[in-house]
Structure 1
């Protein structure tokens, strides 16, 4: 199964840095999204990658972070 891990940030720079780190750590660029309007980063990962994605997102001090199963 897969998860969508989402993190909400206070500013776009922090969100952009999180995206850059996810991609540089090997997450598929096509599965990492930055919503500039809501300043949220979303990454689709297999269950086994959820913890690593959350750790990377947390390094950039999100306001909130959550995950949901991909349907």
Structure 2
């Protein structure tokens, strides 16, 4: 079952660069959601694949809990 992995970005360039990196890591783009108003990027993946998303968030300075 999928898990929502949420990160907070500071600007749209940061969000787009993070999204491009996620897609480059073979995460399907239809599983990546950017909410401009909330400045949140959400990735829906199985829990066992979350580590890679957190590494990409760290690389781009996206914060998460």
Fold-level similarity (TM above 0.5): yes
Flag structure 1 segments of 5+ consecutive residues without an equivalent. Answer: 67-71
Q: 1:69: which partner in 2?
A: none
**Tell me, what secondary structure is at the counterpart of 2:27?**
coil
TM-score where L is the length of structure 1: 0.82
Tell me the alpha carbon deviations over residues 16-64 of structure 1, each in whole angstroms, 9 at most, x when there is no partner. 11011101110011110111112211000111111111111111112x3
Q: 1:50: which partner in 2?
A: 50
CA RMSD of aligned residues (A): 1.1
Q: Equivalents in 2 of 1:44, 1:23: separation in Å?
A: 13
**Tell me, what secondary structure is at the counterpart of 1:7?**
strand
Q: How many residues align?
A: 65
The structure 1 segments of at least 4 consecutive aligned residues displaced by more than 3 Å after TM superposition are none
More helix by share: 2
TM-score where L is the length of structure 2: 0.89
Equivalences for 1:32-47 in 2 at 5 Å? 32-47=32-47
Flag structure 2 segments of 5+ consecutive residues without an equivalent. Answer: none
